[in-house]
Chain A
Amino acid sequence: MLFAPNIADLPDEKLMLLLAKGKQKAFEVLYERYFAKLVHFATARIGNVAAAEDLVQEIFIGIIQHPEKFDTQRRFNTWLYTVANNACKNWYRNHLIRSGIHTAQGALLPVASAQSSNSDHDQQILKQRIRDSLAHCSEKEQIIYTLRFEEEKPLHEIAEILAIPIGSVKSCLFYLLKKLATPLKEFDYATK
């Protein structure tokens, strides 16, 4: 195979096939592509970096042990976020049962990243304002915000991850923007 493509350039779905055949390099590439992103996503969902890391590690162990669970008809990226979203739901449910805590919002809020830079003070204030505003939004709106503005997922992928119609995603995003418009209005002028 003189002209075999570099394994790092292969699409996720091909890498999953190679992973199932025992190619460790394929697993490493998938790990590098998605582990940190999923930890960020899970942290935004459950509000605990260490717990999010453990959660994502469990997801990857599941991929190692049962790669056949990946539906090859779907995109790996979307499938992985769906798995992560469901894992966050389960974690949150178990966490509530263990701690006896129940909030009206139904989800924990994203926390400030300890690794984030303090160089742009305005950005930090803006992000804190967004977090405060999201605290008053529903769980679905928080997930859609994370997927759309932090993970930069297209709308159809968000719909697939959440297993809802794309019209619902658009509607939810529209009303989320409406909710965020007022608290961010003042800040918008400050950042101009």
Chain B
Amino acid sequence: MQPNDNHFPPELLQWVESTPYAALSPQQQNILANYCTQAEYTAMQQSYQLLAALSPQPQPKIKPLHKQQLLAQYAATYAPKPSIALSLWRAAAVILFFISLGLGYLYSSHKSSTTSIVKTNIIRDTLYLSRQIATVSTTIHDTIYQRVAPKTATSNAYLASPKAPKTKATTTSNPDQLHIVAVQSINQTANLSRHSSIKNDKIIQEFQFVSL
């Protein structure tokens, strides 16, 4: 039965390999006594020397087939593949060529593609305008209410102002500037169709004269 390896003195093996029992100190012999007797120690020493002096086992002859198979395996694993590398370069060159062609095409057709977009916008604008017209035609009939700011009451002082009649007099006080429409000219029908004739004027119709 072997004791625990953790408590095994590592120097014991070194003693067995190199030191005769008589050369051990009493203290070393005491340590050794826990693991083997003197006779066992001596026999172990002889066994060790016997095994150490034993001629090494002759190496087995290996069939050359093994080496050939392994070299073939190595060659298959690490053989260079120039054809694949060359085709890779070719593929890369072709891809670059097509990319440059595509970029050139995009650059050259940039203007025309912009024009076509504008045309599309114009068509859309036209459709938008026709809808707007329809909307306007409907809103013609709507009534628009416009708020007017309330008039402030005028003071009586304005009515009593002496300048007001004076201003009116400057425009109408000159009798030479009066334009009296003759009665016979009322019958002129040039503006009758547009209802803007002077004949339509209510004052003329009532008093047969008017002063402008």
Give residues in A with beta carbon < 8 Å to B.
Answer: 22, 24, 27-28, 31, 35-37, 39-40, 43, 49, 53, 57, 60-61, 64-65, 113, 115-117, 120, 123, 126-127, 130, 149-150, 152, 165-168, 170-175, 177-178, 180-182, 184-185, 187-188, 191
Contacts and interface: CB of A to CB of B under 8 A. Distances in A.
Given A22-B78, A174-B8, A188-B46, 11 more contacts: A31-B67, A37-B59, A40-B57, A40-B59, A61-B70, A116-B57, A170-B12, A177-B16, A177-B47, A180-B51, A184-B46
Contacts of B71: 24, 27-28
Contacts of A182: 43
A123 B12 contact: no
A170 B61 CA distance: 32
Please list the 7 inter-chain residue pairs (A to B) with the smallest Cβ-Cβ separation, ordered nearest first: A181-B43, A22-B78, A171-B8, A36-B59, A177-B44, A170-B13, A171-B5
B79 to A, nearest CB: 8
Nearest to B2: A175
B57 A150 contact: yes
Interface residues of B, number: 40
A25 to B, nearest CB: 10
A60 B55 CA distance: 28
A56 B57 CA distance: 18
Contacts of B175: none
Which DSSP category, helix, strand, loop or mixed, fits chain B's interface?
helix
A115 to B, nearest CB: 6
Interface of B: 2, 5-6, 8, 10, 12-13, 16, 35-36, 40, 43-44, 46-48, 50-52, 54-63, 66-67, 69-71, 73-75, 77-78, 80
B73 A61 contact: yes
Contacts of A152: 56
Given A24-B71, A53-B63, A167 B58 contact: no
B51 A130 contact: yes
Given A24-B78, A185-B47, A191-B50, A35 B66 contact: yes
9 contacts: A22-B80, A35-B62, A40-B59, A57-B70, A130-B51, A173-B13, A174-B12, A175-B2, A185-B47
Contacts of B74: 24, 27, 64
Contacts of B40: 178, 181
A49 B58 CA distance: 13
